[in-house]
Chain A
Amino acid sequence: MSATAGTRRYDCIIVGAGHNGLACASYLARAGRSVLVLEANERVGGAAITREFAPGYRVSAGAHLLNQLPRALSAELALGEHGLEFAAQELPTTAIASDGAPPLPLGAAGDAPLSALSPRDAAAYPAFRARLGRFAKVLYPLLDSIPPRLGTSDWGDRLALVKLGWRIRTLGRRDMRELLRVIGMNAYDLLSDEFETPRLKGALGVDAVLGTNFGPRAPGTVLTLLNRLAAESAAGPMPLAQPKGGLGALSDALARVATAAGASIRTGARVASIRVVDDRVAGVTLESGEAIDAARVISSADAKTTFLKLLGPRHLDTGFVRRVDHIRSAGLAAKLHLALDRLPTFPGLDRARLGGRLLIAPSLDYIERAWNHSKYGGYSPAPMLEVTVPTVNDPSLAPTGRHVLSAIVQYVPYETRNGWAADRAPCLEGLLALLDAHAPGLGASVTAAELRTPADLAHEFGMSGGHWHHGELAFDQFYMVRPVPGAAQYATPLAGLYLCGASCHPGGGVMGLAGRNAARAVLRGAA
């Protein structure tokens, strides 16, 4: 099969214009490669888009805050010069309550409200934050590099492992022991060792389980917490930021970077299959039937989609297919979008905090109970929520005087026993009641509401299982075994095929590092 007339052959085709695909395209185009990015949807961004969900109301359709974009990557790609602006930066996090208790700020230092609840916790909190911060700094270089392979005699692989060991050693004996003690633990035990205030522990627990299929008692949740903190450590001391115009603004800026570097981007071009000739990638075929040739195909789709759907198991070995088929990717994070006719009022919350990140997770037990339902095909009647009101900082997202509320809701399964047709309305009703209990009157101000279940997100963004990280972040799917052994260094068993999406190391979260690492792997492979 040859390319249609007028189609040229590219060095690299990138499947999917999510932030990782665009970051990868930018680095490859800058290195002089001819790059074509193919996006199935009508706009770039993948899950990092801003879209209208009700007339005049726009919202970040996936993640709604930027907290893990490394400053180095932002500077390298000159995102600011390409139009990325922030409506607000260094946003605060606040644990809110429905029982009339005052909001609990989670600053870097112990705040007065925490001292009122527990002087002991207030004293312990800064040291705890500082310790995790040191761990995060030590772990960050892991995220920023191609994982080594195990069991090889390659000096680069060995050196990477030695460096990792050395970095952990530089923490000093006490911290090193503590890191190795806690890294396999669950968040529940760690936080219960340190603190006594349920709402503080609940709020810290959110960061350990957000976007995962874990409750805080699940093993490995300290690892997910440290992973998040490591990523945040490169984004600044107070990393939470809100791009002006929503997360889509980041994607638009990345697209401009890629285009400026010489990459071509085509939207509405859904890749149907990856073509193979003589056991090597030859290009892709679009759903329209159009064939485009390329020496390399770099897929930002998740590993299951890339290998099982786009490439097809017959080009792979059974053992590898088995591992890919076994990737755990049950998404449990849903999105709630509300159009409000007025600014919601959370008692005791000033405007600065209202514009930040609000957490509804009154205790670790509350989160654990919320998780339980999803194990048996139900949604949480009392879920954990990460709430933002983006219009506080960015009025452009709604008509004048109106507001938008965006919340990540956990735990909401991909499918329920009764099916979403039956469960959607009561689930949404419960969410509005929960929010109303925290912000009295909020329910009455809702003019439009949209609940995006993991199934909806899977359909909209093409993520297997609707998992935000394109596959669970757990020890068995982490670092040098992510997504699976044999594809954990971005190259795959098929010559010319690479991965660059969130299913690779370092996983989901709007970092762009998977795309950047993948570009390095591609350039290294070509050298």
Chain B
Amino acid sequence: MPPSEPTAPHFRKPLLETPFHARARELSQIDQFVPWAGYNTVDVFTTVEQEYFAIRNASTLYDLTPMVKYRVAGREALEFLNRLVTRDLRKLRVGRVSYVVWCNDRGHIIDDGTVFRLAATEFRLCTAERQLDWLLDSAIGFDVEIAEVTTDIAALAVQGPTSCYILKRFGLEGVERLKVFEIGEFSVRGRPLTVSRTGFTGDLGYELWMRPADAVAIWDELMAAGRTRGLRAIGSQALNMARIEAGFLMPNIDFMNAEHTVRLGRGRSPLELGLGWLVDLDKPHFNGRRALIAERRAGSRRLLVGLDVAGNKPAHNALLYAEEAGRREVGSVTSALWSPTCKRNIALAILEAPHFAVGTTLWADIYLNRELVWERRMAKCRVVEKPFFAPERRRATPPADR
């Protein structure tokens, strides 16, 4: 039985625990857990600042076991996936990972995720939300098998400038040769381990995929290997700060699963989310292709952009206006952050045409609660290029020994 199986009846303990849960409990100082995809996971271990700075200045361990994983295999696995996602996966070589989005018939995004090509006809699809019904309906007419393997694989993200050094010390010989989006197969003291140079921090980092039975031992050995390099376990809040700096999108924060929206106009296309580079209209038919061709022809009605906001107050959920008087509403902020690394007040925002050109000046309506008194501030913002933070080290191969 995998360690993640609930020991109590499901109705008594509705959230599952990952194989790393015992370690997370030990390290959690403030008992701040949150549900994520049916698992009880750590939001913050100590303080979010401490954890955030470990991502950018040392290294971090993040338990991403709850990430939903599907095994997609069979004679037409590639054709199936290529019809599912907007990118041309025929270009994805064995041993490589691709960041993908997939759309409904209207060309609106259902979810984003990563595709691992493990063999010519075997793939792993990692998603934020459960997708089995959409995947199975997409498999009609294809010779492909799809199975959810979330509980079969434990996963850890090791991210930060010292991560490569730590993994080498841990025993991953040659891990420094892995290029971005490359997959390596390793064995450490008899334990098989798949490593991909992927992550959600925009920094140097790796993701480790292992058998649940090996999870605790690997955690302990990683912690030991990282002691001199500031390795620290982090929760989801710190990761969320890093991903905003990296300009990565979060489902249900920056966009809704289009199949879950009930109101008209709440779905978002990849073109609208600034993910046009993921859309290959020249490949054979894929879900949403006809709608996306029409959208490209007519021009998108909105665009998700980066904002540089004046002041130091994050523009959480702010409505955006074309002028300071706040008469013409042109969009809203989806994610906002005072970026400690960039020393900038940044945000991701969805803007209506034609207000999304880089350099456009807008005004954010920010509400501040100052000792229970609400104040309103119109902050000047400028549309800027993303990402906000993209250090050279994230791509360097081999990474510097730190």
A325 to B83, CA, bound (A): 17
Quick check: B141 and A279 within 8 Å, CB to CB?
no
A312 cross-chain contacts in B, Cβ below 8 A: 141
Quick check: A321 and B137 within 8 Å, CB to CB?
yes
A39 to chain B, nearest CB (A): 25
Given A279-B290, A320-B105, A493-B290, residue A315 in contact with residue B285 (CB < 8 A): yes
B141 cross-chain contacts in A, Cβ below 8 A: 308, 312-314, 321
Q: B104 contacts which of A314, A318, A486 (Cβ < 8 Å)?
A: A318
Q: Which residue of B lies closest to A311 (CB)?
A: B141
**How many contacting A-B pairs (Cβ < 8 A)?**
46
A316 to B141, CA, bound (A): 11
B303 to chain A, nearest CB (A): 24
Quick check: A279 and B105 within 8 Å, CB to CB?
no
Q: Which of B328-380 contact A (CB under 8 A)?
A: none
B288 cross-chain contacts in A, Cβ below 8 A: 317
Given A320-B105, A321-B140, A325-B137, residue A314 in contact with residue B83 (CB < 8 A): yes
Within 8 Å of chain B (Cβ to Cβ): is A322?
Answer: yes
Quick check: B137 and A318 within 8 Å, CB to CB?
yes
B134 cross-chain contacts in A, Cβ below 8 A: 318
A212 to B79, CA, bound (A): 38
Quick check: A314 and B105 within 8 Å, CB to CB?
no
A401 cross-chain contacts in B, Cβ below 8 A: none
A320 to chain B, nearest CB (A): 6
Within 8 Å of chain B (Cβ to Cβ): is A237?
Answer: no
Quick check: B140 and A313 within 8 Å, CB to CB?
yes
Quick check: A317 and B287 within 8 Å, CB to CB?
yes
A157 to B134, CA, bound (A): 31
A279 to B83, CA, bound (A): 13
Within 8 Å of chain B (Cβ to Cβ): is A319?
Answer: yes
Q: Which of B66-109 contact A (CB under 8 A)?
A: 79, 83-84, 104-105
Q: Which of B124-150 contact A (CB under 8 A)?
A: 134, 137-138, 140-142
Quick check: A314 and B79 within 8 Å, CB to CB?
yes
Within 8 Å of chain A (Cβ to Cβ): is B289?
Answer: yes
Q: Which of A298-326 contact B (CB under 8 A)?
A: 308, 312-322, 325
A348 to B140, CA, bound (A): 56
A314 cross-chain contacts in B, Cβ below 8 A: 79, 83, 141-142, 284-285
Quick check: B138 and A318 within 8 Å, CB to CB?
yes
B105 cross-chain contacts in A, Cβ below 8 A: 317-320, 486, 493
A271 to B84, CA, bound (A): 28
A215 to chain B, nearest CB (A): 31
Given A317-B104, A319-B105, A493-B290, residue A279 in contact with residue B137 (CB < 8 A): no
B140 cross-chain contacts in A, Cβ below 8 A: 308, 313, 321-322, 325
Q: Interface code A271-289, partner B: CB below 8 Å = 1, 0 otherwise?
A: 0000010010000000000
B79 cross-chain contacts in A, Cβ below 8 A: 314
Quick check: B137 and A322 within 8 Å, CB to CB?
yes
A315 cross-chain contacts in B, Cβ below 8 A: 285
Quick check: B104 and A319 within 8 Å, CB to CB?
yes
Size category of the binding interface on chain B? 10 to 19
A318 cross-chain contacts in B, Cβ below 8 A: 84, 104-105, 134, 137-138, 287
B84 cross-chain contacts in A, Cβ below 8 A: 318
B285 cross-chain contacts in A, Cβ below 8 A: 276, 279, 314-316
B301 to chain A, nearest CB (A): 15
The residue in A308, A313, A318, A325 that gathers the most chain B C-beta atoms within 10 A of its C-beta is: A318
A125 to chain B, nearest CB (A): 47
A319 to B102, CA, bound (A): 12
B40 to chain A, nearest CB (A): 32
B287 cross-chain contacts in A, Cβ below 8 A: 317-319
A313 to B142, CA, bound (A): 8
A279 to B79, CA, bound (A): 16
Q: Interface code B260-288, partner A: CB below 8 Å = 1, 0 otherwise?
A: 00000000000000000000000011011
A317 to B134, CA, bound (A): 11
A160 to B137, CA, bound (A): 34
Quick check: A279 and B289 within 8 Å, CB to CB?
yes
Q: Which of A483-519 contact B (CB under 8 A)?
A: 486, 493
A383 to B27, CA, bound (A): 72
A320 cross-chain contacts in B, Cβ below 8 A: 105
B83 cross-chain contacts in A, Cβ below 8 A: 314
Q: Which residue of B lies closest to A324 (CB)?
A: B140
A356 to chain B, nearest CB (A): 46
A464 to chain B, nearest CB (A): 14
Q: Which residue of B lies closest to A151 (CB)?
A: B264
B284 cross-chain contacts in A, Cβ below 8 A: 314
A318 to B138, CA, bound (A): 5
A316 to B140, CA, bound (A): 11
A276 cross-chain contacts in B, Cβ below 8 A: 285
B102 to chain A, nearest CB (A): 9
A403 to chain B, nearest CB (A): 48
Q: Interface code B285-329, partner A: CB below 8 Å = 1, 0 otherwise?
A: 101111000000000000000000000000000000000000000
A327 to chain B, nearest CB (A): 13
A308 to B138, CA, bound (A): 12
B121 to chain A, nearest CB (A): 16
The residue in B105, B134, B290 that gathers the most chain A C-beta atoms within 10 A of its C-beta is: B105
A313 cross-chain contacts in B, Cβ below 8 A: 140-142
B149 to chain A, nearest CB (A): 21
A315 to B104, CA, bound (A): 14
A486 cross-chain contacts in B, Cβ below 8 A: 105
A318 to B285, CA, bound (A): 11
A319 cross-chain contacts in B, Cβ below 8 A: 104-105, 287
The 5 closest A-B pairs by CB, nearest first: A313-B141, A317-B105, A319-B105, A318-B138, A322-B137
- Which residues of B are interface residues toward A (Cβ below 8 A)? 79, 83-84, 104-105, 134, 137-138, 140-142, 284-285, 287-290
Sample (25) of A-B pairs whose CB atoms are under 8 Å apart: A279-B289, A279-B290, A308-B140, A313-B141, A314-B79, A314-B83, A314-B141, A314-B142, A314-B284, A315-B285, A317-B105, A317-B288, A317-B289, A317-B290, A318-B104, A318-B105, A318-B287, A319-B104, A319-B287, A321-B137, A321-B138, A321-B140, A486-B105, A493-B105, A493-B290
Beyond contacts A276-B285, A314-B285, A319-B104: 8 other A-B pairs, Cβ-Cβ < 8 A, are A308-B140, A308-B141, A313-B140, A313-B142, A314-B142, A318-B137, A325-B140, A493-B105
